[in-house]
């Protein structure tokens, strides 16, 4: 019975052989890369992985040891650092807001079918790629040099990166937008801005919003990190307390609790809102 | 009042509309028929300036339509309303807003941003909806309406533009026969009562025969028929559709004939 | 016992790539002397090296005095100071210099009441620890708490940032380090001011010195205490004898002209340790 | 005419819409105003140092050559960027500097001529202004300038004179006389002055006669380029590699660890509520603490280096992946699992054939997306733990003088991130769409 | 050979299957009909042990199906193949692998975890595909196939199990009439040629009439009809579907009758 269909059998076995070969080769390459990468990193590190593993909790233990007797001071510290936390959050919120607004414009300009100047799509895309690729810390440090320390360099740096990151996500969303309403609006003689505002924005807003919230979460962390290089906010306080070490770990712990608490808070809040959006805007 | 001369559109090597010429002297209801890919949509889109023509001339009341740009072009689009097969409404917005979009050609972007539509426009939109018999759906989202209702909203939007011409690109192709009839009757009424010119792409012969004053047949981008509905014999139709002797007119019909057969097959095709 | 490798942590005001390049000769000599692979690490701030020393992953480093104190206070058994750099004039110290813009009209700490004052890195001896202790001794009523005597007290993050911040007017005065030799208008012979002048960042005519600390002991070269005795001995001999063996390399590792290194011990840093401990309270 | 009730209703609705349309931008604007006040943006404009920006900008594409006279010893040296590694050998100088015994003549270009004269004197011919003379007399700077009518490009005090023009900069103090001349380009980018290949063109090196008799041209030139003391290309390349390595190990390590954990944290695979809850909080914790802070915590145990950076990325990403993977698992389509289950397959097989094929594309694309964005994070993490291009970059920035190196590194980082972006995009297409 | 006694399934307060009892003596093709929510799926799922019964008894060739567990339960599932309305294949894996999943009940070894199936199984899988006329699609991904082809893959997987019973839960509900016919014919052929028992949930009367030897009608979880196709009059159907006098059988039909009417209405319904 196999006779008339021999070639089906053969072609399938060919496929299986080829797949196994590719799969096997890929797997071997991946495992080799991972293993040799690990060994290389291990060798280039000051301390080895296996030697260090038992000491992982030394530092946290120091912090706890230093903090435990001064537990009563923690609320005081927290109150003291609250303004810095608010500054950090303001940096993140403003940067997300400004970044998202610019990202909206750029993403619309770089989406096929929606672009105002279709020829410039490539240009706007490259712009976003570059904005996304430059690490925030670089822009922040340059701006600190020109503008002096404080929240503004961090805000600009994060906003700059946000434009690129959100721009890419937004234009992916835009690509899935239905063009029919846009065409309908174009046929009545409306301007580009009106077509976007009425034809595209209502369709994509929920998705934009959910990505922007996700970004806000990330930006809270980023703005805390930029504090490490002198951009103000809670990160700056954390770095000072941490690098002093023994003796000020209680402050570090207080800041850490504040920072971590707010990150978790925003995380939960945003996933809550996003879930709500997903369910409401189901179709 | 409308003069089309040697209008041509090429997409790469493919000529979608091939040197189309005709003249219309007075507002009438014109049907363009032809099979899929004949260039009907492309022609209408060129008229509305949604697609740029490759060459040729199109003049309306002396206006050189293809040469317009910027504000003048938008003013032309405002005079020349378009109705689409898929309605092309903004589905998440309410019906009245969708109708008001017909005035966008005259509104600034900023006013649009803040939803500043004048009171009298809003009232006029409701009046138009009322005329089309769907005023009570005004507050609903467009997507909540049935296809026939949505198409009537699209017609309302077109009327809101107070256009000289209404272009309709297969306005009933997405509709069931019941709704198709309502929509075609609305278009006919607008033509008769307001005296606006209506050009409708239609993919069925009997609709064209029933509602139009003049029928233009296209095939492969060229006009192969131009005459009155009465001149549109089955032989001519065979030419237009490029069909053989086995061509049955009924295969393209949307008339309401066999209700039972239709409903059950339609309900089966949906989940496929 | 034997060691499998030897890790050197390096700090300082130069950029990481220059630091690594400058220490390449030390790496070669160490490999020769110990016969094990040597790795150089140039973390971004003091804390990186201090953590390495405490965790036992870094064997040798040249710390600032305050950094040594921090290490000692965290774990007295972690490291021991062995050598210190000798300046061209034979001294073993440098200064913390307070400075302001000349057009601000500030001439001394007396004029700083209500003004903004900037430290560098919290782990820096001259950029924080010493001025934080000595400035309040200037006169009654001076404290380092923000809003008390000074209008604000901030950490700029490092010497370079302090200089830029003062020059820009972001803060009214700050502290940085200098060897105190040579002339003010050149930014002294060496130190952060001199580097900024050389880079074309500041014009010393715009700045004025408003305060100077007592001499601060140079930071020690430290070795991890648990290293085998012979390794320690070899390394001490190597660095100690470097000035005679290879002046070029000495120049490189001490980031400028010096007379090489001399032995030193823990006692020399007791006051700094006490100072640091008092700041931790 | 339509029903009046319809008009009234529409009017009401549009009025409400209008209020919303104005209220939302107004709220955003109000917040921005608050932030601008809180951040003192107006004050910032006055504090901003645009001249610093100008230095930075010009330094990114140009370099300067210092001509320095030690006023005590009288010796003159010429050094690129004033660095020891860029110093011209004793007695040699570029052609715009004439070392003539006692006098040194420096042509800054555009007719600007600076002379280092004997007795610690200096003259500077500024076209359109005149000849500026200055000398050190009794430790004081004495000039022919009218101290009350100094142009703003001259800074003069009793101890220091500094003249900054478009052509260059000249300064005079008791100890030193110095002139800076600016040139476009990254000097010594290919070869330092000590290399025999310095000043040769590419064609010379590739096709010309042997420049260094000891070595072949290409090998020798490559060696000198790679080990260039000024730019350290070899080290920079290694640093880039190290950064990518950190991202790679961190991302894929995290993916391998979080996959099994995600099954435990997914509602449809683990009925044990408390276990799931605990694991989710662990994920939140790992994710909530930023990689940078993990780096600091881990540097005690592992010391500085790329492994520490990788582990930090691994920890944060385990949190992120754990959460995302478990969400993906909770969204699996039950049909496929049921199809496999209906044949009597074991649990392991149900997972293998019912779950893994559906989640693989989702997970893989998330992992690759993170890999790309982690190359950027690794740059920052490296800046703290001492590894990779991030360290070089931030350090070069913080010392605030090597802006051309900063530019070099930024360009490399941007290229690296963009390359990773395309690589991950390519892999995504290959592995998910193709197969 | 199959005995069902008082089989009941309750979901909370809702009784999906309510004391169902019937007996089958020899392999035959049985159709279960009933409207949506009647409990048809729940009944089949209980047979395959995908859903646990609340009470009652089900025995096949003396085996007490509901009491089986572990290996025995998997062996039963292997003997009792299931075909789903949505095919429930692994869409990203190739067709042959999907068919091979039918052997998992017997050969769930470590090797199969890595998708390494014995050679003779692979040959058999391709032969089965050949029998169903889709062998040439073997190397394709399941998701690349049309619905009808996918359902045939699902049947192949079922055959691969070499089952005594094949349960099919609305196997043609997602298919267009053309494909539906192919699939039903395949099931019928399997029943006739291999002598396997087939129990299929169907939602249309005429399909049940045409292909089945015995028809069971369910309503609200209970059996309301059990007889031959011939006994299935319109009156009985009205009972089963709980419809009024206006019930038209055609509303549930999937037969291919009026080709012209269908194609054009189907093409109209698709883009809606
Ligand atoms: N944007 C485009 N790019 C390339 N080719 C196009 C484009 N739009 C239309 N065409 C081609 O032009 C020809 C005419 O298309 P057109 O849509 O005008 O036909 P139609 O008569 O409206 O057909 P249908 O009944 O399918 O709507 C077709 O061959 C089509 O493929
Ligand atoms: N997992 C479940 N949990 C709760 N109720 C269920 C579940 N599965 C089915 N039901 C309920 O049991 C009843 C019978 O459902 P079943 O799916 O068996 O009907 P059916 O005859 O197959 O209908 P359909 O034609 O829609 O598939 C329905 O009321 C249904 O809502
Ligand atoms: Mg068309
Ligand atoms: Mg069912």
Best probe of the D interface among A15, A42, A45, A56, by most D CBs < 10 A, is: A45
Residue with tokens 């189907």: E266
Mean pLDDT, residues D269-286 taken together: 88
Domain-wise residue ranges, chain D: 14-48, 63-184, 233-433
C20 and chain A: CB distance < 8 Å anywhere? no
Q: Which of E33, E38, E173 to mutate to test the pocket of ligand 2 (most atoms within 8 A of CB)?
A: E38
Task: Determine the pLDDT at residue D256.
Answer: 94
Whether the per-residue pLDDT at B266 is higher than 60: the answer is no
Q: Is there a contact between B88 and A198 if contact means CB atoms under 8 Å apart?
A: no
Q: Who among A30, A52, A137 is closest to D301 (CB)?
A: A52
Whether the per-residue pLDDT at D419 is higher than 80: the answer is yes
Tens digits of residue pLDDT in D58-88: 778 888 888 988 887 788 888 887 777 778 8
Residue with tokens 């291919």: E256
Query: Smallest CA–CA separation between A189 and chain B, in Å?
Result: 4
Q: Cα separation of C172 and C115, whole Å?
A: 6
Looking at chain A, which residue has its C-alpha nearest residue D381? A225
Q: Is there a contact between D299 and C13 if contact means CB atoms under 8 Å apart?
A: no
Strands lying side by side in the sheet with C79-85: C38-41, C6-9, C60-62, C220-224, C79-85, C261-263
Task: Determine the pLDDT at residue E9.
Answer: 92
Best probe of the E interface among A1, A12, A14, A180, by most E CBs < 10 A, is: A12
Whether the per-residue pLDDT at B54 is higher than 70: the answer is yes
Q: Cα separation of D150 and D148, whole Å?
A: 6
Report the number of secondary-structure helices (H) and strands (E) in chain C. 11, 12
Task: Determine the pLDDT at residue D405.
Answer: 83
Task: Determine the pLDDT at residue C12.
Answer: 62
Distances (CA, A) of D115 to C122, D79, D87, D108: 45, 17, 20, 11
Q: Is there a contact between C48 and D49 if contact means CB atoms under 8 Å apart?
A: no
Whether the per-residue pLDDT at A239 is higher than 70: the answer is yes
Whether the per-residue pLDDT at E270 is higher than 80: the answer is no
Task: Identify the band that residue B256 occupies on the pLDDT scale cut at 50, 70 and 90.
Answer: very low
Task: Identify the band that residue E243 occupies on the pLDDT scale cut at 50, 70 and 90.
Answer: low
Is residue D201 exposed (0-12), middle (13-18) or buried (19+ Cβ within 10 Å)? exposed
Task: Determine the pLDDT at residue B58.
Answer: 93
Q: Cα separation of C8 and C26, whole Å?
A: 9
Report which of residues A242 and E4 the model is more confident about: E4
Task: Identify the band that residue E253 occupies on the pLDDT scale cut at 50, 70 and 90.
Answer: very low
B232 — phi, psi (to 5°)?
A: -85, 80
Q: Which of B31, B35, B39 to mutate to test the pocket of ligand 1 (most atoms within 8 A of CB)?
A: B39
Q: What is the DSSP letter of D290?
A: -
Strands lying side by side in the sheet with D130-137: D97-100, D103-109, D112-117, D121-126, D130-137, D140-143
pTM of this structure:
0.81
Ligand 2 nearest-atom number relative to CA E201: 22
Whether the per-residue pLDDT at B249 is higher than 70: the answer is no
Q: Who among B84, B93, B104 is closest to A190 (CB)?
A: B104
CB atoms inside a 10 Å sphere around CB B44? 24
Which of D330, D338, D310 shows the shortest CA–CA distance to D253? Answer: D310
Which of D15-24, D48-57, D245-254, D331-340 has the lowest average pLDDT?
A: D48-57
D171 — phi, psi (to 5°)?
A: -140, 150
Residues of E in contact with B87 (CB under 8 A): none
Task: Identify the band that residue C248 occupies on the pLDDT scale cut at 50, 70 and 90.
Answer: confident
Question: How many percent of chain A have pLDDT more than 70?
Answer: 96
Whether the per-residue pLDDT at A248 is higher than 90: the answer is no
**Ligand 4: distance of its center to the CA of E16 in Å?**
11
Task: Determine the pLDDT at residue B66.
Answer: 92
Tokens read off for A29: 């390459």
Task: Identify the band that residue C77 occupies on the pLDDT scale cut at 50, 70 and 90.
Answer: very high
Q: What is the ipTM of this complex?
A: 0.79
Tokens read off for E237: 């159907």
Is residue C253 exposed (0-12), middle (13-18) or buried (19+ Cβ within 10 Å)? buried
Q: Cα separation of B162 and B128, whole Å?
A: 11
Query: Smallest CA–CA separation between B14 and chain A, in Å?
Result: 21
Q: Is there a contact between C203 and D299 if contact means CB atoms under 8 Å apart?
A: no
Question: What is the pairing mode between strands D62-70 and C93-101?
Answer: unpaired
Q: Cα separation of E143 and D73, whole Å?
A: 85
Task: Identify the band that residue E257 occupies on the pLDDT scale cut at 50, 70 and 90.
Answer: very low
Residues of E in contact with D360 (CB under 8 A): 92
D200 and chain C: CB distance < 8 Å anywhere? no
Q: Cα separation of B158 and B241, whole Å?
A: 30
Tokens read off for A202: 């209502």
Task: Identify the band that residue D434 occupies on the pLDDT scale cut at 50, 70 and 90.
Answer: low
What is the longest distance spanned by two Cα atoms in chain B? Answer: 60
Q: Cα separation of E115 and E96, whole Å?
A: 11
Question: Which residues have any ligand 1 atom within 6 Å of their CB?
Answer: B 11, 14, 16, 34, 36-42, 203
Tens digits of residue pLDDT in D154-185: 888 888 888 888 888 888 888 788 898 888 87
Q: Is there a contact between E248 and B260 if contact means CB atoms under 8 Å apart?
A: yes
Tokens read off for C275: 């100072």
**Do D388 and A40 contact (CB within 8 A), yes or no?**
no
Best probe of the D interface among E73, E80, E88, E100, by most D CBs < 10 A, is: E88
Residue nearest to atom 2 of ligand 2 (CA): E11
- CATH for E2-269 is 3.40.50.300
Task: Identify the band that residue E245 occupies on the pLDDT scale cut at 50, 70 and 90.
Answer: low
Report the mean per-residue pLDDT for chain D.
85
Residues of E in contact with A9 (CB under 8 A): 122-123, 126
Distances (CA, A) of C66 to C124, C214, C275, D169: 6, 15, 9, 38
CB atoms inside a 10 Å sphere around CB E230? 8
E89 — phi, psi (to 5°)?
A: -90, 175
Alpha helices in D39-168, H assignment, sequence order: 41-47, 50-61
**Ligand 4: distance of its center to the CA of E84 in Å?**
9
Q: Which of residues 208-267 of B touch E (CB under 8 A)?
A: 248, 250-254, 258, 260-267
Looking at chain D, which residue has its C-alpha nearest residue B95? D10
**Do D352 and E92 contact (CB within 8 A), yes or no?**
no
**Do E118 and E107 contact (CB within 8 A), yes or no?**
yes
Tokens read off for A14: 């060919």
Beta bridge partners of B80: B165
Task: Identify the band that residue E264 occupies on the pLDDT scale cut at 50, 70 and 90.
Answer: very low
Going E150 to E156 to E158 to E160, the CA torsion angle's sign is negative
Tens digits of residue pLDDT in C22-58: 888 899 999 999 999 999 888 877 788 888 899 989 9
Report which of residues C131 and D230 the model is more confident about: C131
Mean pLDDT, residues D267-271 taken together: 83
Query: Smallest CA–CA separation between A7 and chain E, in Å?
Result: 9
Ligand 2 nearest-atom number relative to CA E39: 18
Assign residue B189 a region (left: φ > 0; alpha: ψ between -120 and 50; beta: otherwise). Answer: alpha
Tokens read off for E129: 């595909």
Q: What is the dihedral of CA C53, C57, C58, C64, to 10 degrees?
A: -20
Residue nearest to atom 2 of ligand 1 (CA): B11
Looking at chain E, which residue has its C-alpha nearest residue D348? E113
Tens digits of residue pLDDT in A172-229: 889 888 889 999 999 998 899 999 999 999 888 888 988 898 899 889 888 888 887 7
Q: Cα separation of A58 and C51, whole Å?
A: 10
Whether the per-residue pLDDT at B251 is higher than 50: the answer is no
- Highest-confidence range of A4-8, A127-131, C96-100, by mean pLDDT? C96-100
Report which of residues B179 and E190 the model is more confident about: E190
Report the mean per-residue pLDDT for chain A.
86
Does residue D195 sit in helix, strand or coil? Answer: coil
**Do E159 and E102 contact (CB within 8 A), yes or no?**
yes
Task: Determine the pLDDT at residue E256.
Answer: 45
Tens digits of residue pLDDT in B57-91: 999 998 899 999 888 999 999 999 999 988 899 98
Task: Determine the pLDDT at residue A229.
Answer: 74
- C181 Cβ neighbours under 8 A, 6+ residues apart: C87, C88, C89, C188, C189, C190
Which of C251-255, D152-156, E184-188 has the lowest average pLDDT?
A: C251-255
Residues of E in contact with D340 (CB under 8 A): 90, 101, 104
D209 — phi, psi (to 5°)?
A: -70, 165
Q: Is there a contact between A188 and B113 if contact means CB atoms under 8 Å apart?
A: no
**Rg of chain A in Å (alpha carbons):** 26
Task: Identify the band that residue B258 occupies on the pLDDT scale cut at 50, 70 and 90.
Answer: very low
Count Cβ–Cβ pairs < 8 Å, chain A vs chain B: 83
Residue spans of beta strands (DSSP E) within A83-174? none
Distances (CA, A) of B143 to A201, B97, B138, B153, E202: 16, 13, 12, 11, 34
Beta bridge partners of D117: D121
Looking at chain A, which residue has its C-alpha nearest residue C72? A246
**Do A254 and A81 contact (CB within 8 A), yes or no?**
yes
Question: What is the pairing mode between strands E29-33 and E197-202?
Answer: parallel
Q: Cα separation of D233 and D229, whole Å?
A: 9
Mean pLDDT, residues A266-282 taken together: 70
**Do C197 and C187 contact (CB within 8 A), yes or no?**
yes
Looking at chain A, which residue has its C-alpha nearest residue D239? A44
Looking at chain B, which residue has its C-alpha nearest residue D4? B123
Assign domain D233-433 to its CATH superfamily.
MetI-like (1.10.3720.10)
Task: Determine the pLDDT at residue E119.
Answer: 87
- Among chain B, residues having any CB pair with chain A shorter than 8 Å are 48, 50, 73-78, 81-82, 84, 86-93, 101-105, 107, 109, 112-113, 154, 157, 161
For chain A, report the end-to-end CA distance as a whole number of angstroms.
Answer: 50
CA C100 to chain centre: 21
- D195 Cβ neighbours under 8 A, 6+ residues apart: D224, D228
Q: Cα separation of E161 and E103, whole Å?
A: 6
Mean pLDDT, residues D391-418 taken together: 82
Q: Which of E39, E202, E217 to mutate to test the pocket of ligand 2 (most atoms within 8 A of CB)?
A: E39
Residues of D in contact with A34 (CB under 8 A): 248-249, 252-253
Alpha helices in chain C, H assignment, sequence order: 16-22, 24-34, 46-55, 65-74, 130-134, 159-168, 192-198, 229-240, 242-245, 247-253, 270-280
């Amino acid at each position: 019975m196999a006779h008339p269909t021999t070639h089906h059998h053969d072609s399938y076995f060919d496929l299986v052989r080829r797949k196994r070969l590719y799969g096997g080769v890929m797997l071997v390459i991946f495992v080799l890369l991972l293993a040799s990468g690990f060994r290389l990193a291990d060798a280039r590190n000051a301390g080895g992985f296996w030697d260090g593993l038992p000491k992982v909790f030394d530092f946290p233990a120091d912090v706890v040891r230093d903090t435990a007797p001064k537990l009563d001071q923690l609320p005081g510290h927290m109150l003291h650092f609250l303004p810095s936390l608010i500054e950090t959050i303001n940096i993140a919120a403003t940067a997300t807001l400004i970044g998202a607004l610019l990202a909206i414009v750029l993403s619309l300009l770089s989406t096929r079918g929606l672009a105002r100047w279709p020829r410039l799509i490539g240009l706007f895309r490259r712009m976003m790629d570059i904005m996304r690729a430059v690490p925030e810390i670089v822009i922040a440090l340059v701006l600190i040099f020109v503008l002096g320390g404080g929240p503004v360099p961090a805000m600009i740096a994060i906003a700059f990166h946000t434009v690129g990151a959100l721009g890419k996500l937004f234009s992916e969303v835009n690509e899935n937008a239905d063009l029919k309403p846009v065409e309908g609006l174009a046929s009545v003689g409306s301007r580009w801005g009106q077509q976007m505002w009425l034809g595209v924005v209502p369709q994509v807003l929920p998705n934009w919003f959910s990505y922007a919230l996700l970004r806000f979460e990330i930006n809270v962390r980023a703005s805390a990190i930029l504090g490490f290089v002198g951009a103000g906010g809670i990160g700056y306080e954390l770095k000072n307390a941490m690098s002093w070490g023994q003796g000020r770990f209680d402050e570090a712990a207080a800041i850490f609790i504040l920072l971590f608490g707010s990150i978790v808070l925003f995380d939960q809040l945003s996933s809550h809102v996003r879930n709500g959006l997903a369910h409401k805007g189901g179709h | 009042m409308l003069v089309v001369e040697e209008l041509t559109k090429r997409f790469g090597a493919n000529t979608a509309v091939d040197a189309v010429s005709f003249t219309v002297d007075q507002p009438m209801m014109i049907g363009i028929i032809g099979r899929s890919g004949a260039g009907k949509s492309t022609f209408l889109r060129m008229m509305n300036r949604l697609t740029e023509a490759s060459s040729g001339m199109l003049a309306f009341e002396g206006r050189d339509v293809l040469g317009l740009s910027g504000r003048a072009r938008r003013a032309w689009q405002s005079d020349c309303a378009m109705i689409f097969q898929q309605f092309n409404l903004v589905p998440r917005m309410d019906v009245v807003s969708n109708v008001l979009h017909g005035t966008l050609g005259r509104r600034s972007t900023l006013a649009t941003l803040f939803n500043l539509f004048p009171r009298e426009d809003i009232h006029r939109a409701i009046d138009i909806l009322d005329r089309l018999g769907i005023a009570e759906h005004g507050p609903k989202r467009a997507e909540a309406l049935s296809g026939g209702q949505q198409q009537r909203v699209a017609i309302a939007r077109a009327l809101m533009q107070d256009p000289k011409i209404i272009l309709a690109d297969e306005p009933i192709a997405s509709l069931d026969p019941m709704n198709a009839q309502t929509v075609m009757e609305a278009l006919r009424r607008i033509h008769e009562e307001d005296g606006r010119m209506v050009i409708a792409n239609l993919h069925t012969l009997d609709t064209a025969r029933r509602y139009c004053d003049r029928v233009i047949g296209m095939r492969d981008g060229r006009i192969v028929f131009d005459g009155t509905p009465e001149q549109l014999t089955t032989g001519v139709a065979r030419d237009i559709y490029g069909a053989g002797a086995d061509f049955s007119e009924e295969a393209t019909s949307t008339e309401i004939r066999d209700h039972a057969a239709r409903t059950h097959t339609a309900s089966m095709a949906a989940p496929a | 016992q034997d060691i499998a490798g030897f890790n050197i942590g390096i700090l300082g005001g130069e950029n990481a790539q220059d630091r690594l390049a400058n220490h390449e000769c030390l790496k070669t000599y160490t490999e020769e002397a110990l016969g094990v692979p040597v790795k150089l690490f140039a973390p971004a701030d003091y804390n990186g090296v201090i953590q390495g020393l405490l965790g036992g992953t870094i064997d040798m480093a040249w710390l600032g005095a305050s950094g040594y104190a921090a290490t000692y206070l965290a774990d007295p058994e972690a490291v021991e100071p062995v050598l210190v750099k000798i300046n061209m004039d034979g001294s073993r110290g440098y200064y913390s210099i307070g400075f302001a813009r000349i057009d601000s009209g500030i001439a001394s700490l007396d004029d700083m009441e209500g003004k903004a004052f900037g430290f560098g890195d919290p782990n820096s001896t001259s950029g924080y620890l010493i001025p934080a202790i000595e400035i309040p001794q200037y006169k009654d009523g001076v404290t380092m708490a923000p809003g008390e005597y000074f209008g604000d007290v901030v950490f700029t993050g490092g010497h370079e940032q302090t200089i830029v911040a003062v020059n820009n007017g972001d803060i009214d005065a700050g502290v940085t380090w200098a060897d105190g030799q040579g002339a003010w208008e050149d930014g002294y012979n060496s130190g952060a001011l001199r580097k900024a002048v050389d880079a074309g960042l500041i014009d010393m005519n715009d700045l004025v010195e408003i305060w100077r600390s007592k001499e601060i002991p140079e930071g020690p070269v430290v070795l991890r205490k648990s290293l085998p005795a012979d390794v320690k001995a070899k390394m001490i001999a190597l660095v100690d004898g470097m000035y005679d063996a290879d002046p070029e390399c000495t120049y490189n590792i001490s980031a400028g002209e010096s007379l090489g290194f001399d032995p030193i011990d823990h006692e020399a840093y007791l006051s700094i340790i006490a100072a640091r401990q008092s700041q931790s309270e | 005419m339509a029903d009046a009730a319809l008009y009234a209703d529409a009017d009401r609705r549009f009025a409400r819409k209008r209020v919303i349309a104005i209220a939302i931008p107004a709220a955003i604007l109000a917040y921005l105003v608050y932030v601008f006040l809180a951040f003192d943006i107006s004050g910032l404009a006055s504090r901003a140092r645009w001249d610093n920006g100008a230095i930075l900008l010009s330094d990114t594409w140009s370099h300067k050559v210092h001509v320095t006279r030690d006023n005590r010893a009288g010796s003159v040296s010429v050094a690129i960027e004033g660095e020891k590694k860029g110093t011209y050998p004793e007695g040699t100088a570029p052609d715009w500097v004439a070392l003539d015994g006692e006098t040194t003549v420096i042509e800054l270009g555009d007719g600007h001529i600076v002379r280092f004269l004997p007795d610690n004197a200096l003259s500077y011919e500024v076209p359109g202004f005149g000849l500026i003379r200055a000398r050190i007399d009794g430790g004081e700077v004495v000039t022919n300038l009218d101290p009350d009518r100094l142009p703003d490009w001259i800074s003069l005090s009793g101890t220091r004179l500094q003249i900054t023009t478009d052509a260059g900069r000249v300064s005079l103090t008791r100890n030193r006389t110095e002139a800076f001349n600016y040139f476009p380009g990254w000097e010594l980018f290919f070869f330092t002055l000590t290399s025999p290949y310095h000043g040769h063109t590419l064609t010379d090196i590739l096709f010309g006669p042997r420049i260094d008799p000891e070595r072949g041209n290409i090998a020798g030139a490559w060696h000198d380029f790679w080990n260039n003391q000024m730019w350290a290309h070899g080290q920079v390349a290694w640093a880039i590699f190290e950064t990518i390595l950190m991202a790679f190990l961190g991302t894929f390590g995290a993916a391998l660890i979080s996959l099994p954990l995600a099954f435990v944290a997914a509602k449809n695979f683990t009925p044990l509520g408390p276990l799931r809850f605990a694991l989710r909080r662990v994920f939140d914790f790992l994710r909530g603490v930023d990689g940078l802070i993990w780096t600091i915590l881990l540097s005690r145990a592992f010391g500085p280096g790329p492994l520490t950076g990788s582990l930090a990325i691994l920890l944060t990403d385990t949190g992120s992946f754990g959460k995302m993977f478990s969400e993906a698992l909770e969204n699996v389509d039950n049909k496929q699992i049921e199809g496999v289950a209906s044949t009597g397959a074991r649990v392991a097989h149900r997972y293998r054939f019912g779950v893994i094929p559906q989640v693989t594309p989702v997970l893989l694309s998330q992992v690759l997306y993170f890999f790309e964005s982690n190359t950027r994070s690794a740059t920052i993490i490296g800046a703290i733990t001492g590894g990779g291009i991030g360290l070089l970059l931030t350090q070069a920035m913080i010392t605030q003088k090597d802006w051309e190196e900063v530019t070099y590194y930024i360009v490399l980082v941007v290229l690296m991130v963009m390359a990773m972006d395309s690589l991950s995009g390519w892999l995504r297409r290959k592995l998910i769409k193709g197969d």
